[in-house]
Structure 1
Amino acid sequence: MRSIHRPGPGGTGLVVAGLAATLVALLFPVWSYTDRSGTGVDVLNAQTVSTRFGPLSALDREFLTKVRLAGLWELPAGQQAQERGTTEAVRIAGRHLIEGHTFLDERVRDVASRLGFELPNQPSEQQRGWLSTMDAAHGADFDRQFANLLRMAHGKVFSVVAQVRASTRNSLVRTLADDANRTVLDHIQVLEATGYVDFDALAQDMAAASTPPLTNSPAPPGPTTAPASAVPVTPSAVATYPLPPPATSPPSKPTEPAKPSAKA
């Protein structure tokens, strides 16, 4: 009697099983790294709004706000430097601040209007404190306060501009970042040209503000608050130095006049 041979898993079955396993292996990383939390993609998308100029991220909106706030206090600071600076270099730096932030303020208000984004109309409390510190200083002390406070502020915003320029997907924000990069670098250079910038204090301030700190030992306080020689002063109610024009909301679309009803 012949034995009956039952067919087992042949070559075709093994090939099909291998292909299925390969497909699962290829799909698993895609599922793992696009939809699960912890990758940063879900957070980015959750804080991003769509515009016709490209996605507008939370960092983009922070950048627009910082550019506006910079003009709100640095324009008055530049005006003070032109009027009260004791050296030609300080007065030149003041003129550069006025010209640069007049240009940037017009640009950021235009961009924000086209994106439907609301901008602040007053400097922050910290910025008002810096203006008061400068207002209370005189002579060479004013020059020193002006150069160090403005150089410190420009150094901080410079890193934000670079991050925005490298990551933004919005065409309007990208172009504004180009303008801001050139303007901020110019201001850093003219402020350093005054000869009053304390580079040691700047380095200590940046190290203290880094995450994690660049040093474990407590750094001496930099000019993030009022310098040691300055006396905090409550901002005067009288605006000696005018602020830039207020930011306005995007104009609403005109409504069409109602058509007269037809008579019977």
Structure 2
Amino acid sequence: MIKKILKITGISLGLLVGVLVLAYGIIAFNVYKRGNKVYAVDAKNISIPQDSSSLKLGEHVSMIKGCRDCHGEKLNGKVFFEDPLLGTLTSANLTALDNYTNQDWVRAIRHGIRKNGTPLTIMPSNEYATLTEKDLAALIAYCKSLPNEPNNLPPLSIGPLAKVLDAFGKVTLYPVETIDHSQEMSAEVKPEVSVEFGKYMAQTCAGCHKPNFKGGDNAIPGGIHVPDLTKTGAVGKWTEAQFTSVLRTGKRPNGTQMKPEDMPWQMTKEYSEVEIKALYKFLNTL
């Protein structure tokens, strides 16, 4: 009887392992196939300015849109995640893209597509798809003005856990799949304390706090719960002064300090007073 039970248990475990291996094989092939798909997106060929005010705006955009968080302070790329299960996530060296045309830059930033037409991995172009032509052109101008800073980076690799999380919708490996590529580009959103400008600023927040800004489960395994930014959450009860202080220092009104990896306050501290006030005004309409 015991031998029979052990035999049945062994067969069951063997079948289970076989099913899991087959399922992972399907998931891995799907990731490979999607990662090599070629997208024929006709990116808008915008004019790139060269004046000092545009370069200054471009530098500001690079700081408030999180470019430096992933691409490093010099924008020459970095390893921002390295884990045996999740993989090695490296960002491109933006100072070494001499072969990129203006359209290639627009296609990469706004559409999440490489020069060869394949999708960029983890590049949050879904957040940048709403960039105005003025801000996008200034950002490209600034990146192209930077001196080439060589950086020996390991190749990007997607680990097994990242592939499984992508299959279950917990992470988005290829944001290109979530973008409306036919969406028209706005010329400019006037930087003023208005709901419209606040909504424009808030697109950077949507990546973590969700498009409805209600927060929820963290996409990063082991990450903290993402807070609700609307009036129904704790953040919605903060005064404008408290909200400003949190974005500038990363310290909550109760005195607790947030880690930069949980809340990118090193980025939000670069927001101008108008940008913070507009963002606060917009969030208080939700």
* TM-score for both structures, normalised by structure 1: 0.29
More helix by share: 1
Q: Which structure exhibits the higher relative contact order, with contacts defined as CA atoms closer than 8 Å and separated by 6 or more residues?
A: 1
